C-alpha cells in the first residue's frame, strides 16, 4: 500500500511528462525547410532537428549506399531514385504514416510510393538574370550554346540524368532517349558547354557560397530554387523559365533509412510538416510547390498565382518524369559524365 | 759525330721518352680517377632509380590495395541489381578511379576487368560511346601465364603482379601493376578458391625514370653514353632481385646496369666519353709535356754545351792553333775538372816535347835544331829592325884528351859545367846591354854557339867572347879536377858577315878556324875590317879621353857673315883635338866615337864652358855684338840635366842668353822626339837660340818643325855645293828650305859657301847669312879677334 502510492505518483509523473526530447537528423537539400518551421516544431515537440545538406543527388546516393545513411532519420529523396532504391530495401515502409496524413495529392503520393512521404514537386528549367540577358532565355540549347552575355557566367552541375536530359532536350530528343546518335549529339553539346562555364556545380549552391558577390547569370535549376536564389544572391532580377523543348517533372519525398526503427520524433515531424498551416507556411516561405492540397487552401494569392511554382498545363504536358534506364544506357550516361568531368 | 750533336741525339730521345712516359702516367691517373668517379656516379644514379622505383611500386601497390578493398569496388562487384550497379555504384567507382588517376602522375590508365577478363571500366573514359576495351599492354599481360595470378606454383600466391612493357616509342617505358581480387573473399583465401569469380584491376602508366636517367647521365657524362632498357621475361621464381653493378668495360670504359626481376637497365660508357671529359686535361698534359721537354732540352743542352763541350772545344781550338803557329797558346788552368787536367797535361806534354825536341840533353842548352830555328828567326827580326846579330861559335880545345884521359863521364861533366858557366857569363845584362837577347846552344860534341841579338855594335860580341875565354883562365876546374881545355871562338856579325843563317854560321865557323890557327884560346872576327874598326875606335876613344883630361882640346872659330853686307853677325865654335888631328882624325870621326862611348857629354860641357868664356871675353873686351853658335851632340837631348848645366854656365859667365845659339844636327832630333822637344824647350826657355845644323839631310817632317822651338836653319853644304852644277833637285831644295824658313819665320844660314857663284845665288834667293871657306875658314882665337876688328871697322864705315 505504501509502495503503491509513490509508484502511482511516479507513474503519473512519468506519464504526464512530455515524451523525452529526441533528435531528428535530416539529410536534405539546402534551403528546403523553413527555419520557422523548424523552430516551431522544436518548441512544440521539444525535439531537436538537426539538418545536414547535400547539393548533389549523387553524393546523397553515395552516402546512402555506403551505409552512412544509418546516421540519418530522414532523407529527402527524389521519387525516381527512391523507387529504384525500393528494391534494395534501403528505406522503411512509411505507408502507415501516409495513411495518417491527409491532404497529399494522390498523384504525388503514388509517385513517392510506400517508402516516401511526398513533400514537393516541380519542373526543371533555366534561371537567368534578366538584367544581364540581352534576350530572354527560351531554349535548352542556350544552356550549351551560351549567349555572349552569359559567357563565363554559367554555373551548372554535371549530373548523369539532368545534364544528359537537358542536352537531349536541347536537340529535340526525349530527355531519356537511349539512341546513341542522339546521345552523341548531346555529348557534343555538353562538351561545347565546358568553355562557357564559370563553375561546375549546382547553381543554388554556388549562390549560397558566393552570396551577393556571385557573378552567376545563368544556371540550371528547379522551380523550387528561384525564390531562394533571389533571396541569397540579393539579385532580384533572376527569372525561371521552362524551355520550350520540354522539362523534367520531379517530386521530392521524405524517406527513412532502413535499419532504424522510426523514432516517435520522426513520426511527429512528418505529421507536423504536413499540418496544413505548417505546410502552407513552409511552402510560402521556401518557395516550392507543396503537394499538400489542404495547405493550398491556406496559401496567399501571390503564392497561388506563381506561374513558376504552378506551371501551366501546357508546360506540364511538355514535361517528362525521371526514369531509371537499363544498365547499359545508364553506364553510357555515367561514362559521358565521367568523361566530361575529367576534361 | 761531333760532341754537340751527339749530346742532342742522346738527350732528345731520353727526355722525350721520360716526359712522355710521365705525361702518359699522369693522364692514366686522371683517367682512372675519372673512371672511378663515374663509376660511383653511375652507381649512385642507378641506386637512386632503384629506390625511386621501389618507392613507386610500393605506392602503386598500396593504391591497388586501397582500390581492392574500397567500398566502391566492393559494392560495385557485390551488387546483383545491375540497374543499381550502373546507376549508383558504377559512377562512384568511376569517380574514385578517376581521382586515383588524377592524383598519381605516372598512372595513365586504370582498367577494371571482370570475370573472364571482360573490360568493365576504363579510366580515362575517352570516347564514352566506345565500349571499354582492354588496353593493349593489359592484353599482352593477360596472355602471359595465368597461373601466376594466383601463384599456383607457390604456396602463398602473389596477388599483385607487376610488369614492365617496352612501348613502341623507344624513349618511353610503360609499366603496369595488376591485382586480382575476389570481392567476397579475403586476399589470403584466394589460393583456396581458384575458380571463384574475380576481378582484375590494372594500373598502367609510363615510367619516366628511364628517360630522365638517360638525360641526366648524358648531360653529365656526354652524348656517347648508351642506355638500354630491356624488359625481363617473366621469371618463374619472382625473387626480389635487384642488382646494381658498374664495372670497367673491356675498352677501358664503363659498363653497368641495374637489373631487377622486371627490367634491366644497361649503361655503356665508352672510353671516348670518359676521355672526352678529360680533353681539357689531355691538352694541358700535352702542352705541359711539350713545354717541359723543350725547356729541359734547352736547359740541359745549354748547360752541357757551356759547361762541358765548350771547354773541350776551346781546348781543341787552342791545341790546333798551337800546332799551326808552332807556339803554345795553352796556359795553365787552375780548375779541378777533367778538362783542366787534360789541358794541363797536354800543356806539360807539349812543354816536355818541346824541351826534349829543343834541348840538348846533357847540358840543358838548346840543341842544333833549336839553334837553327832561333837563328833564322833572329836574322828575320834583324832584317826588320836593322840591328846586328853576333854569332859566337865556340869550340873547346883539347877536349878529346879529356875523354881519352878521364873518361866519357868526366867529359860529359866538363861539357855540363861549361854549359852552366857559359850561361852565367853570357846572361849578365850589363855585359850585353840588351836583356834577354841571348841564346845558347850546343851544336854537338864540344861545339857551342852563342847568339847575341840586337847588339848595338860588334864590341859587345868581343866583350862577351873575352868573358868566355876568361872562364878557362887559368884552367877549367870541375869538381876539383883541372882540365887542360880552353876555347876558341869565331865571331860572325850579321848582316855584314851574312844575311842568312847558313852563311852566318859558315862564316862564324871560318872565324873559329882562324882563331884555332892563331893558336887557340882566342877569338877571331870573321871580317878583319870589323876587328880593325873596333881597334881603331878604341884607340881614338882613348886618345880623346886623354886629350880632355890633359886639356888638349881646342876651339876654333868660323865667322858667319851677312850675305848682303858681308858683316860678321855671328861665330860658330868648332872643336879640335890636335893629337887626333895629327893622326888625320877630325871631329867628323871622333865625335861619333865620343858619342858611342858616352865621352861626348864631358866634351860638350868642356866646349860649352870654353865657348862661353870666349864669348864673354869677346863681348867685354872686344865689343862683339854678334852671337855665338855652339855645336852640341844630340845625345844631350836625352840628358835631363843638360839645360841645367847650360844655365849654370850662363849664370857663371853672366852672359845674355840671346847671344848664344845652340846648334844641333837635324838627324839628332829624329829619335825620341818627345823628350827632345821638352829639353829643347827648356833650353829655349833659358833664352838661348836654337838652330838646326846640316838641315835637309835628316828626315824632319814639316809638322816636326813646329814641335821644335828652332830659330835658325843651317842649309847643309851638300846643297850649297850643288849650286851651278846642274843638280836641279838639290838646288831646288835650297828654295824649298828658304820657303820653309819663310813660312816658319826662321833664320837661314848657308853652310860651305866656297864660290862666288854660290854666294851670288844665295844673294838672289834672299838667303841672309852664310859661312864657308870663301868667306873664312875656321880660325884660331887670335886670328878671329883680328877678323872681328877689321869687320867692326867695316861696320863703322858702312
Q: State the ipTM, two decimals.
A: 0.74
Q: Which among A84, A337, A338 has the least Cβ separation from residue B83?
A: A84
Q: Are residues A212 and A145 in the same domain?
A: yes
Q: Quick one: average pLDDT of B329-345?
A: 79
Q: β-strands A247-255, A116-129: how paired?
A: antiparallel
Helix/strand/coil (H/E/C) assignment for every residue in B247-297: EECCCCCEEEEEEECCEEEEEEECHHHHHHHCHHHHHHHHHHHHHHHHHHH
Q: Quick one: average pLDDT of A280-288?
A: 90
> What is the predicted pLDDT for the residue at B565?
87
Per CATH, which fold does B359-526 belong to?
Answer: Alpha-Beta Plaits (3.30.70)
What lies within 8 Å, CB to CB, of B775 at 6+ separation is: B559, B561, B566, B753, B759
> What is the predicted pLDDT for the residue at A167?
95
Judged by a CB distance cut-off of 8 A, whether residue B251 touches chain A is no
Cβ A273 vs Cβ A282: under 8 Å: yes
> What is the predicted pLDDT for the residue at B206?
82
Judged by a CB distance cut-off of 8 A, whether residue B127 touches chain A is yes
> What is the predicted pLDDT for the residue at B709?
82
Q: Would the CB atoms of B128 and A62 count as touching at under 8 Å?
A: no
Could you read off the pLDDT of A89-115 as tens digits, one per residue?
788 888 888 888 888 888 888 888 888
Judged by a CB distance cut-off of 8 A, whether residue B107 touches chain A is no
Contacts of B74 in chain A (CB under 8 A): none
Q: Are residues A193 and A334 in the same domain?
A: yes
Contacts of B124 in chain A (CB under 8 A): 339, 342
Q: The sheet that has B438-444: what strands, in order across it?
A: B438-444, B447-455, B388-397, B486-494, B523-525
> What is the predicted pLDDT for the residue at A10?
64
Contacts of B88 in chain A (CB under 8 A): 61-62, 65
Split at pLDDT 50, 70, 90, the class of B156 is very low
Q: From B712, B633, B612, select the one nearest B679 (Cα to Cα).
A: B633
CA atoms of A107 and B383, how far apart (whole Å): 173
DSSP code, position B359: B
DSSP-based three-state secondary structure for B769 = strand
| Paired residues of A219 in beta bridges | A127, A155
Contacts of B128 in chain A (CB under 8 A): 187, 332, 335-336, 338-339
CA atoms of A247 and B764, how far apart (whole Å): 176
Split at pLDDT 50, 70, 90, the class of B502 is confident
Q: Which among B84, B86, B128 has the least Cβ separation from residue A339?
A: B128
Q: Which among A180, A334, A337 has the least Cβ separation from residue B86?
A: A334
Split at pLDDT 50, 70, 90, the class of A302 is confident
State the smallest CA–CA distance between residue A91 and chain B in angstroms: 15
Q: Quick one: average pLDDT of A306-315?
A: 88
Number of domains in chain A: 2
Q: List Cα–Cα distances, B437 to B351, B457, B471, B530, in angstroms.
A: 21, 14, 21, 21
Split at pLDDT 50, 70, 90, the class of A254 is very high
B767-779 CB burial, b ≥16 within 10 A, e <16: bbbbbbebbbebb
Q: Quick one: average pLDDT of B323-327?
A: 72
Q: Are residues A132 and A202 in the same domain?
A: yes
> What is the predicted pLDDT for the residue at B153?
37
Q: Which of A244-253, B329-338, B594-603, B720-729 has the highest mean pLDDT?
A: A244-253
Q: Would the CB atoms of B129 and A84 count as touching at under 8 Å?
A: no
Query: Residue B75 phi/psi, 5° resolution?
Result: -65, -40
Judged by a CB distance cut-off of 8 A, whether residue B76 touches chain A is no
Q: Which residue in A has a C-alpha nearest to residue B80's C-alpha?
A: A88
Q: Which among A58, A327, A337 has the least Cβ separation from residue B82?
A: A327
Contacts of B83 in chain A (CB under 8 A): 84, 324-327, 330
Q: Are residues A167 and A22 in the same domain?
A: no
Q: Quick one: average pLDDT of B451-471?
A: 83
> What is the predicted pLDDT for the residue at B585?
85
Q: Are residues A135 and A103 in the same domain?
A: no
Split at pLDDT 50, 70, 90, the class of B697 is confident
Judged by a CB distance cut-off of 8 A, whether residue B486 touches chain A is no
Domain that holds residue A301: 4-121+250-309
> What is the predicted pLDDT for the residue at A175?
93
The larger pLDDT score, comparing residue B195 to residue B415, is at B415
> What is the predicted pLDDT for the residue at B154?
37
Q: A-contacting residues of B 492-551, CB under 8 Å?
A: none
> What is the predicted pLDDT for the residue at A77?
92
Q: Does the CA dihedral A197-A200-A202-A203 come out positive or negative?
A: negative
Q: Which among B81, B94, B126 has the least Cβ separation from residue A88?
A: B81
The larger pLDDT score, comparing residue A12 to residue B556, is at B556
Q: Are residues A133 and A224 in the same domain?
A: yes
- H or E segment and range at residue B445: none
Q: Quick one: average pLDDT of A77-84?
A: 87
% residues pLDDT > 70 (chain B): 89
CA atoms of B398 and B428, how far apart (whole Å): 27
Cβ B100 vs Cβ B197: under 8 Å: no
Q: Are residues A194 and A320 in the same domain?
A: yes
Q: What is the mean pLDDT of chain B?
A: 82
> What is the predicted pLDDT for the residue at A207?
92
Could you read off the pLDDT of A19-78 as tens digits, one per residue?
578 889 999 988 889 999 999 999 999 999 999 998 888 888 888 887 788 889 999 999
| CATH number of the domain to which A211 belongs | 3.40.190.10
CA atoms of B488 and B445, how far apart (whole Å): 14
CA atoms of B395 and B629, how far apart (whole Å): 55
Residue B429 pLDDT greater than 90, yes or no: no
Could you read off the pLDDT of B512-541 as tens digits, one per residue?
888 887 777 788 777 777 667 777 888 888
Q: Which residue in B has a C-alpha nearest to residue A161's C-alpha?
A: B87
Per CATH, which fold does B10-269 belong to?
Answer: Beta-Lactamase (3.30.450)
Residue A206 pLDDT greater than 50, yes or no: yes
State the smallest CA–CA distance between residue A73 and chain B in angstroms: 21
Residue A125 pLDDT greater than 90, yes or no: yes
Q: Does the CA dihedral A68-A73-A74-A77 come out positive or negative?
A: positive
Q: Would the CB atoms of B86 and A62 count as touching at under 8 Å?
A: no
Split at pLDDT 50, 70, 90, the class of B589 is confident
% residues pLDDT > 70 (chain A): 94
Judged by a CB distance cut-off of 8 A, whether residue B118 touches chain A is no
Q: What is the mean pLDDT of chain A?
A: 88
> What is the predicted pLDDT for the residue at B181?
76
Residue B155 pLDDT greater than 50, yes or no: no
Contacts of B71 in chain A (CB under 8 A): 66
Q: Quick one: average pLDDT of B661-680?
A: 76
> What is the predicted pLDDT for the residue at B184?
67
Q: Would the CB atoms of A87 and B91 count as touching at under 8 Å?
A: no
Residue B246 pLDDT greater than 50, yes or no: yes
Residue A140 pLDDT greater than 60, yes or no: yes
Identify the residue whose cell numbers are 836641279: B728
State the smallest CA–CA distance between residue B116 and chain A in angstroms: 19
Q: β-strands B486-494, A197-199: how paired?
A: unpaired
Split at pLDDT 50, 70, 90, the class of B157 is very low
Could you read off the pLDDT of B597-647 as tens digits, one per residue?
788 889 999 999 999 999 999 888 888 888 999 999 888 888 888 899 999
Q: Would the CB atoms of A88 and B125 count as touching at under 8 Å?
A: no
Contacts of B123 in chain A (CB under 8 A): 338, 342
- CB contacts < 8 A (A, B): 72
Q: Are residues A162 and A240 in the same domain?
A: yes
Q: How crowded is the C-beta side of B426, counted as CA atoms within 13 Å?
A: 27
Q: Would the CB atoms of A331 and B90 count as touching at under 8 Å?
A: yes
> What is the predicted pLDDT for the residue at A2?
67
For chain B, domain boundaries: 3-9+278-321, 10-269, 359-526, 538-797
Residue B481 pLDDT greater than 80, yes or no: yes
Q: Are residues A216 and A326 in the same domain?
A: yes
Q: Which residue in A has a C-alpha nearest to residue B120's C-alpha?
A: A331
Q: Which residue in B has a C-alpha nearest to residue A334's C-alpha?
A: B91
DSSP-based three-state secondary structure for B335 = coil
Q: Are residues A227 and A278 in the same domain?
A: no
Grid coordinates belonging to B58: 610500393
**With DSSP H G I counted as helix, E B as strand and the rest as coil, what are the percentages for chain A, rounded to 5?**
50, 20, 35
Superfamily of domain B538-797: EAL domain (3.20.20.450)
Could you read off the pLDDT of A154-183 as tens digits, one per residue?
999 988 889 999 999 999 999 999 999 999
Q: Are residues A70 and A174 in the same domain?
A: no
Q: Are residues A320 and A208 in the same domain?
A: yes
Q: Would the CB atoms of B86 and A327 count as touching at under 8 Å?
A: yes
Amino acid at each position: 500500500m505504501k509502495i503503491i502510492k509513490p509508484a502511482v505518483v511516479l507513474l503519473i509523473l512519468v506519464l504526464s511528462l512530455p515524451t523525452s526530447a529526441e533528435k531528428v537528423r535530416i539529410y536534405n537539400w539546402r534551403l528546403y525547410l523553413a527555419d520557422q518551421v523548424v523552430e516551431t516544431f522544436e518548441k512544440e515537440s521539444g525535439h531537436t532537428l538537426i539538418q545536414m545538406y547535400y547539393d548533389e543527388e549523387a553524393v546523397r546516393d553515395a552516402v546512402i549506399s555506403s551505409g552512412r545513411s544509418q546516421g540519418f532519420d530522414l532523407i529527402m529523396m527524389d521519387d525516381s531514385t527512391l523507387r529504384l532504391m525500393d528494391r534494395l530495401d534501403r528505406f522503411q515502409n512509411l505507408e502507415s504514416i501516409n495513411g495518417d496524413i491527409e491532404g497529399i495529392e494522390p498523384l504525388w503520393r503514388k509517385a513517392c510510393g510506400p517508402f516516401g512521404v511526398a513533400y514537393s514537386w516541380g519542373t526543371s528549367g533555366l534561371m537567368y538574370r534578366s538584367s544581364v540577358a540581352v534576350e530572354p532565355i527560351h531554349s535548352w540549347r542556350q544552356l550549351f550554346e551560351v549567349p555572349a552575355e552569359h559567357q563565363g557566367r554559367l554555373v551548372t552541375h554535371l549530373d548523369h540524368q539532368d545534364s544528359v536530359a537537358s542536352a537531349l532536350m536541347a536537340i529535340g530528343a526525349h530527355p531519356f532517349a537511349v539512341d546513341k546518335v542522339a546521345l552523341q549529339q548531346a555529348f557534343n553539346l555538353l562538351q561545347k558547354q565546358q568553355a562557357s562555364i564559370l563553375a561546375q556545380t549546382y547553381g543554388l549552391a554556388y549562390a549560397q557560397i558566393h552570396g551577393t558577390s556571385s557573378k552567376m547569370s545563368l544556371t540550371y535549376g528547379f522551380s523550387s530554387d528561384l525564390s531562394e536564389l533571389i533571396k541569397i544572391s540579393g539579385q532580384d532580377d533572376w527569372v525561371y523559365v521552362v524551355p520550350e523543348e520540354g522539362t523534367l517533372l520531379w517530386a521530392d519525398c521524405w524517406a527513412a533509412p532502413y535499419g532504424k526503427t522510426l523514432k516517435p520524433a520522426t513520426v511527429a515531424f512528418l505529421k507536423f510538416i504536413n499540418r496544413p498551416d505548417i505546410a502552407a507556411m513552409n511552402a510560402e516561405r521556401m518557395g516550392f510547390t507543396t503537394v499538400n492540397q489542404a495547405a493550398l487552401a491556406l496559401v496567399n494569392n501571390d503564392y497561388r498565382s506563381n506561374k513558376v511554382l504552378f506551371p501551366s498545363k501546357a508546360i506540364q504536358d511538355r514535361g517528362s518524369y525521371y526514369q531509371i534506364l537499363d544498365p547499359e544506357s545508364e553506364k553510357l550516361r555515367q561514362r559521358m559524365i565521367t568523361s566530361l568531368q575529367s576534361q | 759525330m761531333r760532341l754537340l750533336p751527339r749530346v742532342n741525339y742522346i738527350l732528345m730521345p731520353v727526355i722525350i721518352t721520360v716526359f712522355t712516359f710521365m705525361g702518359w702516367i699522369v693522364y692514366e691517373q686522371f683517367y682512372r680517377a675519372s673512371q672511378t668517379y663515374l663509376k660511383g656516379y653511375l652507381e649512385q644514379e642507378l641506386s637512386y632509380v632503384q629506390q625511386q622505383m621501389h618507392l613507386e611500386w610500393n605506392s602503386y601497390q598500396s593504391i591497388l590495395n586501397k582500390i581492392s578493398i574500397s567500398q566502391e569496388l566492393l559494392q560495385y562487384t557485390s551488387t546483383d541489381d545491375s540497374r543499381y550497379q550502373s546507376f549508383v555504384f558504377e559512377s562512384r567507382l568511376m569517380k574514385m578511379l578517376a581521382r586515383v588517376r588524377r592524383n598519381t602522375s605516372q598512372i595513365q590508365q586504370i582498367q577494371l576487368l571482370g570475370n573472364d577478363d571482360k573490360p568493365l571500366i576504363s579510366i580515362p573514359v575517352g570516347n564514352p560511346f566506345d565500349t571499354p576495351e582492354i588496353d593493349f599492354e593489359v592484353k599482352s599481360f593477360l596472355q602471359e601465364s595465368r597461373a601466376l595470378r594466383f601463384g599456383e606454383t607457390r604456396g602463398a600466391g602473389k596477388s599483385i603482379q607487376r610488369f614492365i612493357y617496352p612501348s613502341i616509342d623507344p624513349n618511353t617505358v610503360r609499366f603496369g601493376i595488376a591485382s586480382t581480387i575476389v570481392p567476397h573473399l579475403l586476399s589470403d583465401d584466394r589460393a583456396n578458391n581458384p575458380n571463384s569469380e574475380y576481378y582484375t584491376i590494372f594500373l598502367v602508366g609510363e615510367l619516366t625514370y628511364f628517360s630522365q636517367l638517360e638525360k641526366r647521365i648524358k648531360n653529365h657524362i656526354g652524348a656517347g653514353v648508351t642506355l638500354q632498357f630491356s624488359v625481363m621475361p617473366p621469371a618463374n621464381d619472382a625473387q626480389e632481385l635487384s642488382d646494381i653493378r658498374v664495372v670497367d668495360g673491356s675498352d677501358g670504359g664503363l659498363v653497368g646496369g641495374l637489373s631487377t626481376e622486371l627490367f634491366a637497365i644497361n649503361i655503356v660508357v665508352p672510353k671516348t666519353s670518359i676521355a672526352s671529359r678529360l680533353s681539357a686535361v689531355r691538352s694541358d698534359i700535352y702542352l705541359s709535356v711539350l713545354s717541359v721537354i723543350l725547356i729541359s732540352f734547352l736547359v740541359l743542352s745549354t748547360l752541357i754545351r757551356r759547361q762541358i763541350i765548350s771547354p773541350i772545344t776551346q781546348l781543341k781550338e787552342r791545341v790546333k792553333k798551337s800546332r799551326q803557329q808552332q807556339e803554345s797558346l795553352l796556359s795553365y788552368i787552375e780548375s779541378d775538372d777533367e778538362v783542366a787536367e787534360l789541358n794541363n797535361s797536354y800543356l806539360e806534354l807539349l812543354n816536355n816535347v818541346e824541351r826534349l825536341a829543343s834541348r840538348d840533353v846533357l847540358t840543358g842548352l838548346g840543341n842544333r835544331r833549336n839553334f837553327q830555328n832561333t837563328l833564322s828567326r833572329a836574322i828575320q827580326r834583324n832584317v826588320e829592325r836593322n840591328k846586328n846579330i853576333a854569332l859566337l861559335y865556340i869550340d873547346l880545345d883539347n877536349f878529346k884528351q879529356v875523354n881519352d884521359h878521364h873518361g866519357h863521364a868526366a867529359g860529359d861533366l866538363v861539357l855540363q859545367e861549361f854549359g852552366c858557366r857559359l850561361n852565367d857569363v853570357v846572361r849578365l845584362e850589363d855585359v850585353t846591354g840588351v836583356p834577354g837577347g841571348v841564346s845558347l846552344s850546343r851544336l854537338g860534341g864540344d861545339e857551342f854557339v852563342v847568339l847575341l841579338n840586337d847588339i848595338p855594335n860588334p864590341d859587345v860580341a868581343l866583350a862577351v867572347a873575352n868573358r868566355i875565354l876568361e872562364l878557362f883562365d887559368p884552367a877549367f876546374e870541375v869538381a876539383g879536377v883541372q882540365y887542360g881545355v880552353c876555347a876558341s871562338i869565331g865571331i860572325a856579325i850579321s848582316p855584314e858577315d851574312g844575311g842568312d843563317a847558313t852563311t852566318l854560321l859558315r862564316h862564324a865557323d871560318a872565324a873559329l878556324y882562324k882563331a884555332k890557327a892563331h893558336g887557340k884560346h882566342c877569338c877571331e872576327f870573321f871580317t878583319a875590317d870589323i876587328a880593325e874598326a873596333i881597334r881603331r875606335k878604341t884607340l881614338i876613344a882613348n886618345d880623346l879621353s886623354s886629350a880632355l883630361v890633359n886639356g888638349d882640346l881646342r876651339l876654333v872659330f868660323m865667322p858667319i857673315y851677312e850675305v848682303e853686307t858681308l858683316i860678321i853677325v855671328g861665330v860658330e865654335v868648332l872643336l879640335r883635338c890636335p893629337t887626333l888631328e895629327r893622326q888625320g882624325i877630325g871631329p867628323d870621326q871622333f865625335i861619333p866615337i865620343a858619342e858611342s862611348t858616352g865621352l861626348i857629354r864631358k866634351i860638350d860641357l868642356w866646349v860649352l864652358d870654353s865657348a862661353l868664356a870666349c864669348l864673354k871675353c869677346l863681348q867685354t873686351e872686344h865689343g862683339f855684338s854678334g852671337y855665338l853658335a855652339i855645336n852640341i851632340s844630340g845625345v844631350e837631348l836625352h840628358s835631363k840635366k843638360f839645360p841645367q848645366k847650360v844655365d849654370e854656365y850662363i849664370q857663371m859667365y853672366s852672359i845674355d842668353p840671346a847671344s848664344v845659339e845652340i846648334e844641333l844636327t837635324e838627324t839628332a832630333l829624329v829619335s825620341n822626339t818627345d823628350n827632345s822637344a821638352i829639353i829643347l824647350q827648356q833650353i829655349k826657355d833659358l833664352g838661348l837660340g836654337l838652330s838646326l845644323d846640316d838641315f835637309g839631310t835628316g828626315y824632319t817632317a814639316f809638322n816636326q818643325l813646329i814641335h821644335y822651338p828652332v830659330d835658325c836653319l843651317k842649309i847643309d853644304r851638300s846643297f850649297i855645293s850643288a849650286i851651278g852644277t846642274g843638280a836641279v833637285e838639290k838646288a831646288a831644295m835650297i828654295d824649298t828650305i828658304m820657303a820653309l824658313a819663310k813660312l816658319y819665320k826662321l833664320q837661314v844660314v848657308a853652310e860651305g859657301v866656297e864660290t862666288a857663284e854660290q854666294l851670288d845665288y844665295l844673294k838672289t834667293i834672299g838667303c841672309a847669312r852664310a859661312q864657308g871657306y870663301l868667306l873664312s875658314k875656321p880660325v884660331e882665337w887670335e886670328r878671329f879677334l883680328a877678323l872681328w876688328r877689321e869687320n867692326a871697322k867695316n861696320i863703322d864705315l858702312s
